[in-house]
Amino acid sequence: MSKNEDLVTAAHNIFPGAVNSPVRSFRSIGGTPVPLVRGEGAYVWDADGNRYIDFVGAFGPLITGHAHPKIVEAIQKAAADGTAFGAITPTEVELGRRICEATGMERVRFVNSGTEATMSAIRVARAATGREVVVKFDGNYHGHSDGLLAKAGSGVATLGMSASAGVPEAMAGRTAVLPYNNPAALEEWFKERGSETAAVIVEAVPGNMGVILPDSTFVETLQRLCKEHGALLISDEVITGFRLRYGLSDALPGADLYCLGKVIGGGMPIGAFGGRAELMNHLAPEGGVYQAGTLAGNPLVMAAGLAMLDILQETGVYARLEQVSSFLENGLRAAIKRAGVDACISREGSMLTVFFRKEPPRSMAEGQESDTAAFARFHRAMLDRGIMLAPSQFEACFVSTAHNEPEIDAAVNAAHEAMRAAAGNGS
């Protein structure tokens, strides 16, 4: 057996489904997951020594590629000074200050994951409004806290049902799930239940049903209805924050609370949420909302985050990311055209999804019309050619500052063949 096979077999005997997070299992596309041992820049290596150009980027954090020397050095330096304190530290103050400065948030709190950020932001919103019901959108993902693992009920103005075994209906039943990009559904919801609604949480630009772009009327309706009905708007920027631009994306201005994660930790475990002081001061010890974390604001994570922000503040980083991402988009479009396959590209900045349907979807329901078997063939054919893409039709691929013309050219060349394989002509 190869080293890859050995590792996957060993993992199967230890971890449920061989993984510590489900999408890594390749379950939705079939085939065997690729165990990775090393990354550098745009490249990763598996246990058998095969090299891949990586467009997964650890599912979002690695906007500067793998093992960026400045980030590695910052983590090493911080580690030598102690790995955790459970006290205020200069690096957490500095990262917090820089995040507030870049986002306009008056107060922020660091947590260890995006899941904790959204869960805690909702707790603050419920306390601040004295209301219980939360609205989310079909296909948007905000982590795995009980209340956010809800699926749509039977009508628009009904509360949600549990979307996971182990989540009681009572927990999911305080969350309503509405169709994305559908202003009429929002109007109907707020007409019926606006006065009960504590918050609406939405991905600023969704990446978790694949990249789906928000319509401007949807965004305007969302902003207006939240204001009119006194519900807080929570923008989930766990993917988009500091990825689409330095600070918050401009997809959802004027939200009340913002959630961050991924990029701001430089590849280390992080989440953050923040907003106006008047709202954030509901948190203990200022206020009555309990929220805490032994390793929150951990010095290694903070040092990695600071190094990441330093790199991202260098001139031209986002312009270059946009340029390289658009080369990739154009190359993929040409491959789709030449193969004559029903596929399209949905892209915002350095996040991109190849959907196997004619037009970019505007909602989860439309996304689900994609030919997932064709996506699986495409993914496999790209992997065989040394290109690693996110292993699901409903994920984003990420471009980093470590991707340059040679990597994009290689990916596009591979895609010309892989699109033929997706169409069923070739392998």
Ligand X SMILES: Cc1ncc(COP(=O)(O)O)c(C=O)c1O
Which residues are tagged catalytic? 141, 236, 262
Coil, strand or helix at 204? coil
Site residues for ligand X, 221-240, by CB under 6 A, read: 236, 238-239
- Contacting residue, 25, 113, 129, 353, with ligand X by CB under 6 A: 113
Contacts of 307 by beta carbon, 8 Å cutoff, 6+ apart: 68, 70, 71, 73, 74, 75, 266
Task: Give the sheet arrangement for strand 351-355, strand by strand.
Answer: 344-348, 351-355, 397-398
114 contacts ligand X (rule: CB under 6 A): yes
Of the pair 139, 331, the CB lying nearest ligand X is at 139
Rounded to 5 degrees, φ, ψ at 166 are: 90, -10
Residue number, 141 or 356, with CB nearest to ligand X: 141
Give the largest Cα separation in the chain, rounded: 63
Contacts of 135 (CB under 8 A, 6+ apart): 175, 176, 177, 178, 189, 197, 199, 200, 201, 231
Taking residues 256 to 275 in sequence order and writing x for each that binds ligand X by CB under 6 A, - otherwise, the string is -----x---------x----
Which residues within the stretch 358-387 sit at the binding site for ligand X (CB under 6 A)?
Answer: none
Tokens standing for residue 15? 């971890």
Query: What distance in Å separates the CA atoms of residue 105 and residue 345, rounded to the nearest whole number?
Result: 33
- From the CB of 142, what's the least distance to ligand X, in Å? 5
From 62-70, 111-119, 248-256, 299-307, span contacting ligand X (CB under 6 A): 111-119
Size of the site for ligand X (CB under 6 A): 16
For residues 275 to 304, the per-residue mask of contacts with ligand X, x marking binding by CB under 6 A and - elsewhere, is ------------------------------
Choice from 138, 203, 256, 329 touching ligand X (CB under 6 A): 203
Per CB under 6 A, the segment of 49-57, 114-122, 177-185, 332-340 that binds ligand X is: 114-122
Binding mask 59-78 for ligand X (x = CB under 6 A): x-------------------
Shortest spacing between CB 113 and ligand X, in angstroms = 3
| Residue nearer to ligand X on the CB measure, 131 or 136 | 136
Residue 115 sits in the site that holds ligand X (CB under 6 A) = yes
Piece of 72-80, 107-115, 178-186, 410-418 that binds ligand X (CB under 6 A): 107-115
The DSSP code for 231 is P
User: If DSSP codes are grouped into helix, strand and coil, which group holds residue 329?
Assistant: helix
For residue 43, what are the β-bridge partners?
A: 40, 53
Smallest CA-to-CA distance from 115 within 236, 246, 265, 18 is with 236
241 belongs to the binding site for ligand X (CB under 6 A): no
User: How near is the Cβ of 329 to ligand X at its closest, in Å?
Assistant: 21
Nearest to 116 by CA among 285, 256, 236: 236
As a whole number of angstroms, the distance between CA 66 and CA 225 comes to: 42
Q: How far is the CB of 130 from ligand X (least distance, A)?
A: 25
Q: Is 208 in the site for ligand X (CB under 6 A)?
A: yes
Which residue number is nearest to ligand X in terms of Cβ?
A: 114
Nearer to ligand X, 142 or 380 (CB): 142
Q: Which of 336, 303, 267 shows the shortest CA–CA distance to 61?
A: 267
Q: Which is nearer to ligand X, 39 or 271 (CB)?
A: 271
Q: Is 339 exposed, middle or buried (0-12, 13-18, 19+ CB in 10 A)?
A: buried
Write the binding mask 133 to 172 for ligand X: x where contact by CB under 6 A, - elsewhere.
--------xxx-----------------------------
- Which among 117, 64, 85, 130 has a CA at the least distance from the CA of 274? 117
Where does this chain bind ligand X (CB under 6 A)? 59, 113-115, 118, 141-143, 203, 207-208, 236, 238-239, 261, 271
